[in-house]
Amino acid sequence: MSRHWQTEALVLQVKSMGEDNRSVALLTRSKGLIWATLYGGPKSKMRALVSPFHCGQIYLYTDEVKQATKISDFAIHSYRPEIRENLFKTCAANLCSELVIKTHGGGEIEQLWLYVNSFLDGLCLVNEEAARHALLRFIWRFLNTMGMQPDPCECASCGTSVCSIYNTQKVFFSLAESSFYCAQCSSLGSESKGFFLHKEVVDYLRIITTEAPRVSRAIVLEEAFFYETQDFLVYILQNFSGQRFNSLDVLLKV
């Protein structure tokens, strides 16, 4: 195998390593999450190119003896400057990067590559309100790539549609069983720790799961339902992954 290789890559994170060098987390289309070293001081043109959220063709050199990879060149096809022009978008993109890094880029590589890049591209095209809804959809779909997304369509007890209930009724989600229960069966699971969620929240998650993206993008949740969805997704994301995501602490204050 050649030590010199190239692949499509997204820069997730850049950290200082010594006085002049940088440690770079990359989501690559061919190998998933990898770490590489960027050599060069402040005057190096590569410092400006290898920045978070930039995406393009990256050229790498791997020393298998030292088990180290360095970045040789980077041909960018997407800079995504719009992300840095809005505080919420910046925080949302940082959370996206942290999710991939802390879950070690788990799941199917091609699916993860498409989800992450589609989300970042979408942030560049929409206003802040739409970006906030886009983050909800991304977190829910990210749970799917990790095999941690619960089924919002059928009751875990009776198998009927979770959302075939009156608007005044709520759906119970059991954390212990990672399952939704319809209103009639909620008493079976409600002894365990979990959430009672409005029908509108669960139906929104169902639509994201089963319908084309254009359908879920057209839905704008009422404020109360938006925050209920956000709180639920943040909790199960951290609970199921066993991780604490630092970006969330900042994001939820923006």
CATH number of the domain bearing residue 37? 2.40.50.140
Above 60 in pLDDT, residue 1? no
**Bigger pLDDT: 136 vs 252:** 136
71 and 89 in a single domain? The answer is: no
Average pLDDT over residues 176-197: 78
136 and 230 in a single domain? The answer is: yes
108 and 225 in a single domain? The answer is: yes
72 and 108 in a single domain? The answer is: no
* 185 inside domain: no
* 228 inside domain: yes
* 196 inside domain: no
9 and 63 in a single domain? The answer is: yes
Structure tokens at 20: 């002049």
Q: What CA dihedral angle connects 109, 112, 113 and 115, to 10 degrees? A: 160
pLDDT value of position 132:
97
227 and 144 in a single domain? The answer is: yes
Q: What is the pLDDT of residues 174-184, one digit of tens each?
A: 888 889 988 77
Structure tokens at 154: 């059928």
Average pLDDT over residues 109-130: 96
Q: Structural domain tally of the chain?
A: 2
**Residue where a domain stops, chosen among 45, 78, 111:** 78
119 and 58 in a single domain? The answer is: no
How far is 196 from 178, CA to CA, in rounded Å? Answer: 13
- Average pLDDT over the chain, rounded to whole? 90
* 204 inside domain: no
**Residue where a domain stops, chosen among 78, 95, 114:** 78
**Secondary structure (DSSP) of 16-80:** EETTTEEEEEEEETTTEEEEEEE---TT-HHHHHS-TT-EEEEEEEEETTTTEEEEEEEEEEE--
pLDDT bracket for residue 107 (50, 70, 90): confident
CB-based contact 170:188 (threshold 8 Å): no
Domain that residue 48 falls in: 4-78
* 197 inside domain: no
132 and 10 in a single domain? The answer is: no
Above 70 in pLDDT, residue 191? no
pLDDT value of position 116:
96
* 182 inside domain: no
The rounded percent of the chain whose pLDDT value lies above 70 is 94
Pairing, β 170-174 against β 179-181: antiparallel
pLDDT value of position 40:
80
pLDDT bracket for residue 167 (50, 70, 90): low
41 and 15 in a single domain? The answer is: yes
From the CA atom positions of the chain, what is the Rg in Å? 21
Q: What is the pLDDT of residues 123-166, one digit of tens each?
A: 999 999 999 999 999 999 999 988 889 999 888 888 888 876 66
* 186 inside domain: no
122 and 66 in a single domain? The answer is: no
The rounded percent of the chain whose pLDDT value lies above 90 is 63
pLDDT bracket for residue 170 (50, 70, 90): confident
pTM of the model: 0.91
Above 70 in pLDDT, residue 190? no
Burial 3-16 (b: 16+ CB within 10 A, else e): eebeebbbbbbbee
Q: What is the pLDDT of residues 14-66, one digit of tens each?
A: 999 888 899 999 999 999 999 999 998 767 788 889 999 999 999 999 988 88
228 and 140 in a single domain? The answer is: yes
Q: How far apart are the first and last CA of the chain?
A: 47
Residues 6+ apart with CB under 8 A from 126: 134
* 214 inside domain: no
41 and 89 in a single domain? The answer is: no
Average pLDDT over residues 217-241: 93
Average pLDDT over residues 197-220: 94
**Residue where a domain stops, chosen among 78, 108, 128:** 78
